[in-house]
């Protein structure tokens, strides 16, 4: 099959990592796969090794929606399948289907944010839709009134999965000033509206004084400066650490104790499933699909949005758990993540769907 994966820009988000992973895996399975982006460059451009990639522009317009020549490029590629990843690519998906009537254009639902009109319009025009969580699939049926037969749920794949040994990375902890008994709270996410790292800082600031804790915030983006200011104003420089963009956050998972996430924009959190794959329990605000990332009430706890005290109590429950209990819970988390978000199964599910769509069109 000739597969075209469309993504606007390779910023440092989970969807962009999935786009690169899928394009590489499709090619590895023997298919002609190309990743087409609107803009060149991006934080993840260095992760493109071995991926057939082209961009519409020779320069960075800094405009996510600007896609000159997209329909012409899609038509010239003569693909069997076009997989649209991310908000902007999906806004164009309906136009791509019109330009490439012989191709099966597959839209994706990977967000908990309200969908723009063009996105919703495209979902009604494409050949099929992949939702990355059961909750996202229900939203498409119940809210957008799309036919359930046109929707397939395929969970995100682990990009940074289990590392094997469950040995804590004491060297990295010490580098950031954490002692053997320090509870490290970890969030790996872009700094942008909706990810709500500012709220994590506020929540952690209210933890009891007898708890030795640090909050590690890995990532970069437009809201980072404001979050750094908030930590400084609260005099939390010793507690809150800004680790910057991590091309591979696996060492952070191996050093941390609890994954924390206050995002309001998810459909399925790559960060949380990766943390589970490394055995970290999770405390998260309730958002679409988040309870599919772990075993609720066991390897993760879902908190109602705005319940900061409940969030703190859940963190304390994990922080103060006996060591034996932590180890058995970590084993269950790793097993659940390995079974649910297996990269090979993820790729097979996509390719099986693509084969069905191509056969249906013959």
pLDDT in tens, 222-270: 999 999 999 999 999 999 999 999 989 999 999 999 999 999 888 889 9
* Residue labelled with tokens 């910057």: 244
For residue 361, pLDDT over 80 is answered with no
Residues pairing with 127 in the sheet? none
CA–CA distance, 231 with 228 (Å, rounded to integer): 5
Three-state SS for 109-152 is ECCCCCCCHHHHHHHHHCCEEEECCHHHHHHHHHCCCCCHHHEE
pLDDT in tens, 72-121: 999 999 999 999 999 999 999 999 999 999 999 999 999 888 899 999 99
**229 CB contacts (<8 Å, ≥6 apart)?**
none
CA–CA distance, 346 with 358 (Å, rounded to integer): 19
**171 CB contacts (<8 Å, ≥6 apart)?**
none
For residue 166, pLDDT over 90 is answered with no
Residue 362: per-residue pLDDT: 54
Domains and CATH numbers, the chain: 2-157+342-361 (3.40.50.2000), 170-340 (3.40.50.2000)
pLDDT band for position 360 (50/70/90)?
confident
Q: Look up the pTM and report it.
A: 0.90
Residue 28: per-residue pLDDT: 96
pLDDT in tens, 112-165: 888 999 999 999 999 999 999 999 999 999 999 999 999 999 999 998 765 445
Residue 113: per-residue pLDDT: 85
């Amino acid at each position: 099959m000739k597969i075209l994966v469309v993504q606007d820009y390779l910023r440092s988000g989970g969807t962009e990592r999935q786009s690169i992973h899928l394009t590489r895996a499709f090619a590895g399975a023997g298919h002609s796969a190309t990743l087409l982006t609107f803009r060149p460059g991006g934080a993840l451009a260095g992760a493109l090794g071995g991926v057939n990639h082209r961009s519409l522009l020779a320069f960075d317009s800094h405009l996510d929606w600007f896609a000159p020549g997209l329909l012409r490029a899609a038509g010239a590629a003569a693909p069997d399948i076009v997989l649209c990843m991310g908000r902007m690519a999906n806004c164009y998906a309906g136009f791509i289907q019109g330009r490439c009537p012989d191709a099966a254009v597959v839209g994706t639902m990977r967000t908990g944010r309200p969908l723009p009109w063009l996105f919703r319009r495209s979902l009604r025009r494409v050949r099929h839709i992949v939702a990355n969580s059961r909750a996202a699939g229900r939203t498409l049926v119940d809210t957008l009134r799309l036919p359930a037969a046109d929707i397939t749920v395929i969970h995100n794949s682990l990009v940074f999965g289990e590392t094997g040994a469950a040995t804590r990375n004491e060297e990295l902890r010490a580098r950031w000033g954490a002692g053997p008994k320090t509870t490290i709270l970890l969030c790996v996410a872009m700094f942008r509206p909706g990810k709500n790292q500012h709220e994590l800082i506020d929540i952690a600031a209210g933890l009891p004084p007898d708890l030795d804790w640090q909050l590690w915030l890995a990532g970069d983006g437009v809201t980072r400066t404001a979050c750094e200011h908030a930590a400084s104003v609260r005099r939390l420089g010793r507690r809150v650490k800004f680790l910057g963009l991590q091309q591979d956050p696996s060492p952070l998972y191996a050093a941390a104790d609890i994954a924390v996430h206050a995002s309001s924009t998810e459909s399925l959190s790559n960060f949380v499933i990766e943390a589970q794959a490394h055995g970290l329990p999770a405390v998260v605000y309730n958002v679409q699909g988040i309870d599919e990332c772990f075993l609720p009430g066991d390897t993760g706890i879902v908190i109602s949005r705005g319940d900061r005290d409940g969030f703190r109590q859940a963190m304390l429950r994990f922080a103060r758990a006996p060591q034996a209990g932590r180890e058995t819970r970590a084993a269950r988390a790793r097993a659940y993540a390995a079974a649910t978000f297996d990269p090979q199964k993820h790729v097979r599910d996509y390719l099986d769907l693509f084969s069905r769509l191509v056969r249906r069109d013959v």
